[in-house]
Structure 1
Amino acid sequence: MSHLLPFKLQKITLATLFIVNFCAITSAYAADAATANDEWKFTLRNAYIDRDFDNSGIKDTGSWSQAASLFYKSKMLDTPLNIADQPITIGADASVQYAVRLSSDKHVSDSILPFDKANQSQASDFLKYGATLKLGYGNSLLRTGELWLDLPVTSVDTSRQLLTSYWGTNLRSQITDQFQTEIGRIEKVSPRNEEEFRKFSYTSKGVTHYSDGLNYIDLRYQITPTLKGEYYFGNLEDLYNTHYASLDHTWKQANFSLNSKLKYFNSKDHEDTFTIDAQNIGLLETLKVSNHSFGLGYQQIIGDSAYPLLDGYLPETYFINWNVTGFAKQDEKSYHLIYSYDFKDFVPGLSTAVKWVYGHDFKSSTGEDNQETEANYVLNYAFQQPYLKGLGFQYIHIDYNVKYGNDFTEDRIFMNYMKKF
């Protein structure tokens, strides 16, 4: 461990004490709510990730690390405040995430661990923590502080080691059984490979531009029992606006089900310092028959730029099928084939998936007509033995090839453990 470890351990101790004290504040309201149970979730994750470039002039990236994280989520407890004979409720969430590097320093950024550009060194360990205050009334919940969001632009990245989180305020309301609304302002982000919360940023042509915050509204409506729709608008101040609309339909029969997803994104800038003008149209059909699942998708980027992705390795998981390399370049058209199988009838807990994507009609950095492919092989196993409950294994192999560019292969091995109490 580095010479900074005692300081890191001190930060962990302070963060843990902060969580305990923060939770104690909300527990003061629990005198008349003895049946309300808080939830603690403890996780361990061992992650080995290695990316090998075919080009010998590019350094291979990756690392081996171990994480331990603690997440707290309180039940909503009544306060003495009432409006129309209905109480205002209060609660709190909190988190501490810590990871230590087990491998030697490769002196190259791997998008997993923090990287010091000045010293060209990977951090030996890193720590993330945050807390959230929750206020409820009726079917509405106001949250302020650290937020875990599953929305366009702001989703939680679980594909590496520690998790992405956001800092801001949002209000979610269940208007009817079918209609849900959410509005919010997100001021900062803590990317997966950084400790602190910082402003959103977008880099274009080597110049980084910053935003003071993201203002958004998300509307979800269950149109019929089998059809749901969603509309999202996000304004990244001083950067760009994003519109998103989708339809999701599931047709179930006795022996199979067919899920259809139609998605549309439209992002445009409102500044003169850079150009963003991109639309993303995607369609994904997924057929499930017994333990088999077959997926066929198409995605197309339209406009005068690539589809914008924010700095900090923030994934756009709302794409029809988010991949390692995105397939979101200017004018790119991509075709997605997916097959998965659940071995539950033979080896309970074991499943596998294969994904293959072909993209074309985009230009290389030097102007040639380009094309790319990405193949993903995924193997998952959740241990079924009672004494190993909560322990899981995942292996991912990625093979990426591009006509003009840098090919690579990547292997990811995860051992995960989760315990709720």
Structure 2
Amino acid sequence: MDRPTSKIGSNTPLMLLSLLSCITVSTNTHSANEEWKFTLKNAYLDRDFDHPELKNVGSWSQSASLFYDSKMVDSPLKLLGEPIQIGAKASTQYAVRLSSDKHRADAILPFDKLNQSQAPDYLKYGATLKLGYQDTLLNLGELWLDLPFTVVDGSRQLLNSYWGTNLRTQVNDKLQLEIGRVNKVSPRNEEDFRKFSFTSKGVTGYSDGLNYIDLRYQFSPNLKAEYYFGHLENLFNKHYLGLEHTWKKENFSLNSKLKYFNDQDNSHQFKIDSQNFALLETLKIQNHSFGLGYQQLNGDTAYPLLDGFLPEFYFINWNATGFVKKDEKSYHFIYNYDFKDYVPGLNTTLKYVYGNNFKTTDDVKNNESESNIIVNYSFQQPELKGLALQYIWIDYDVKHGTDFSENRIFVNYTKKF
């Protein structure tokens, strides 16, 4: 397996170069504790299409993963009298297929298109170098990001990750700045890191890298904002603006999220013009949560989604179905109940999304809906600490198209030491 190596070069943020120019050498160092996280995940997924010519897809697999994150320690290098700290991260993820080969791609396990076969197992690994100075942290290597374009997806088996460089700094008590360049991605159902790609109408384009800036500003304890700009070379640009407000009273709270996305092509390879406006209101009363959301797409094209099943968790409610077709309007209803007063560790979520105002490829008006039931249980007994169960039921209906139902069962175990 070929893995990229980390290099400091022209793609390293300029702030690192200014830091290095002021470095002096010191002989004082100190050690710090480190954290290891071991996880086991048993995942069963089955999607059944309501179409005589489409067979169900899915698999049953077991994974074992180990994640390492060192605490920062002082290095011999100093900047303006303050030590530059150094640390590291590392990850190893391995999964084995327990079910028989269905000879169909399921977006969970690697799939060989030439032989039409699911991989019996797969391995992902990476490492990160961390450099810190006061409130600034620079990462080089494998990145675990929570941003538009680049989120970590734990909804299937192994986690996706990214390769590149990013720098995060706390400018003041209200403003956080992050800049970065992401060269490659390792999707959840692939082993290696590869270039970002986008496919439209059977044509695939590739990007040499994603350059981004992310600003987060805390106006008050109850109001925060985020602005993100990502330039995906040779493909398209993404602007994101989000506002979030929380109003709390003694027995309830109201959370409001307002989100706007604007995606435009930056080359002549694809025509991309899509805007996404969304609002989600969530009312929490004791153990009950009620969510009501609205999402509307505008522009000349559907919302562009990158290859590799990379989700858009920044949407108000990302489902198995994206609800991102051209001009689509979708209405989101969410209810959650926490059984902590009766069965500690148990909570359930019900979702329903209805989308309309879009057309099929042959210009026929269409609509779609998705229903979800999600049940989570974390064992509270000391001897079973770290063990959790999750069940997800999905039902998708479309007026002109193929309906499907899906079951997902996860058994997770996490141990930190």
Same fold (TM over 0.5): yes
Please identify, of 106-115 and 361-370, the stretch whose mean Cα deviation from structure 2 is larger.
361-370
How far did residue 30 of structure 1 move?
12
1:362 to 338, 355, 358: 358
Matches of 2:213 and 2:51, distance apart in 1: 44
Q: Does 1:396 align with 2:395?
A: no
Aligned-partner SS, 2:323: coil
Q: Secondary structure at the match of 2:93?
A: strand
Superposition deviation, residue 146 in structure 1: 0.2
Distance, in Å, in 2 between the alignment partners of 1:224 and 1:279 is 28
Provide Cα deviations, 1:114-133, integer angstroms capped at 9, x if missing partner: 00000000000000000000
Matched residue type, 1:362: F
Higher helix share: 1
Partners of 1:38 and 1:245 in 2: CA distance: 36
For residue 330 of structure 1, the aligned residue among 326, 334, 342 is 326
Instruction: Choose the corresponding residue for 1:310, options 292, 306, 313.
Output: 306
Structure 1 residue ranges (4+ consecutive) displaced by more than 4 angstroms after TM superposition: 29-32
Residue matched to 2:66: 70
For residues 244-301 of structure 1, give each alpha carbon's deviation from its aligned partner in whole angstroms, at most 9, with x where no partner exists: 0000000000010000000000000022222110000000000000000000000000
For 1:229 and 1:169, locate their aligned partners in 2 and report how far apart those are by CA, in whole Å.
24
1:82 correspondence with 2:99:
no
| Aligned match of 2:30 | 33
CA–CA distance in structure 1, aligned partners of residues 165 and 146 of structure 2: 14
Distance, in Å, in 2 between the alignment partners of 1:110 and 1:147 is 25
Task: Measure, in 1, the Cα distance between the counterparts of 2:183 and 2:44.
Answer: 32
C-alpha separation in 2, matches of 1:56 and 1:341: 38
Contact 2:41 2:64 in 1 (8 A): yes
1:385 to 358, 372, 381: 381
Equivalent in the alignment of 2:151: 155
Q: Distance in 1 between matches of 2:29 and 2:178?
A: 30
Structure 1 residues 67-216: aligned runs within 5 Å: 67-216=63-212
Q: What is the TM-score normalised by the length of structure 2?
A: 0.93
Is 1:280 aligned with 2:280? no
Which of 354, 369, 375 is residue 373 of structure 1 equivalent to?
A: 369
Shift of 1:177: 1.3
Quote the Cα distance in structure 2 between the aligned partners of 1:416 and 1:372: 32
Q: Distance in 2 between matches of 1:183 and 1:112?
A: 31
**Where in structure 2 are there 5+ consecutive unaligned residues?**
3-25
How many Å separate the matches in 2 of 1:30 and 1:228? 42
How far apart are 1:82 and its partner, in Å? Answer: 1.1
Residue of structure 2 aligned with 1:245, choices 224, 230, 241: 241
Residue by residue over 1:297-341, the C-alpha shift from the partner in whole angstroms, topping out at 9 and shown as x without a partner, is 000000000000000000010001111110010000000000000
- Say if 2:235 and 2:269, in contact at 8 Å, map to a contact too: no
Contact 1:30-1:77 within 8 A present in 2 as well: no
Residue 243 of structure 1, CA deviation: 0.1
Given that 2:28 and 2:76 are in contact with CA atoms closer than 8 Å, whether structure 1 keeps it comes out as no
Where do 5+ consecutive residues of structure 1 fail to align?
Answer: 1-7, 12-28
Secondary structure at the aligned position of 2:383 is classed as helix
Question: How many Å apart are 1:213 and its aligned residue?
Answer: 0.2
- Aligned counterparts of 1:333 and 1:90: Cα–Cα separation in 2: 48
Amino acid of the structure 1 residue aligned with 2:341: D
Tell me the TM-score normalized by structure 1.
0.92
